[in-house]
Amino acid sequence: MEVQDKLMINDIIKDSLNNSISYNEYRDLVLNLVAVNSTTGNKKTEALANYTMLNDRRMKRWDKTVKLSDNTKEKIESYNKKVTWLVITESWCGDAAHIMPVINKVAELNDNIDYRIVLRDDNDDLMNEFLTNGGRAIPKLIMIDISSNEVVNTFGPRPTVATEMVLDYKAQHGKLTPEFKEDLQRWYNKDKGQSTVEDLVNLLK
């Protein structure tokens, strides 16, 4: 049964990769959606379209401002296994807007890392294999060894530090409030992508 499960997951990943797009294609997609006041995903609401517009601005900013230290660059550049980083996302997702440009900055430094993107609502089978605490949380990065087609690691939906903040707040208050979500956005801005970089570098160890 375990072998069958593995084969099924491999087939699901293969199908998703066939439908995947590059980061630049994703940025173009979001830009085009903003131009027509729309969004990715099955639900097309004005609120989600507004989030998409906001996230386009965030990604534009991070594309320009994310910085990596020389030490971090060396670690990334020295990684010598060929892997795919397949990321599940949607344009309205606030966490994704802060994280996906950082993934791109890391992947750009090493040709062994192939960064591909799929939309959650178009890839139900894939999303259901990579739930977080039973939920369809995004963004979710699936790290696949190209030579063996094995899933070797995952990352997301938030960097470790932010995940701990969310879990602590939920434990104290039962749910995430709008005020906390604003605090989390401020944390992302202050962190400047460095916690995400640290987690991504750990994937390459």
Q: Does domain 2-203 have CATH number 3.40.30.10?
A: yes
Asked whether the predicted pLDDT for residue 6 surpasses 80, the reply is no
The pLDDT-based confidence of 7 (bands split at 50, 70, 90) is confident
Read off the pLDDT of each residue in 109-133 and give the average, rounded to a whole number. Answer: 97
> How far is it, in rounded angstroms, from Cα 197 to Cα 84?
17
DSSP string, 5-38: HHHHHHHHHHHHHHT-B-HHHHHHHHHHHHHTT-
* 3 confidence band (pLDDT: 50, 70, 90): low
Ramachandran region, residue 157 (left: φ > 0; alpha: ψ -120 to 50; beta: rest): alpha
Judge whether residue 14 has pLDDT over 80.
Answer: yes
Convert the pLDDT of each residue in 15-64 to its tens digit: 999 999 999 999 999 999 999 999 999 999 999 999 999 999 999 999 99
> For residue range 57-104, what is the model confidence (pLDDT) as tens digits?
999 999 999 999 999 999 999 999 999 999 999 999 999 999 999 999
Q: Phi, psi at residue 181, to the nearest 5°? A: -60, -35
Beta pairing class for 113-119 and 151-155: unpaired
Locate the domains of the chain by residue range. 2-203
1 pLDDT band (50/70/90 cuts)? very low
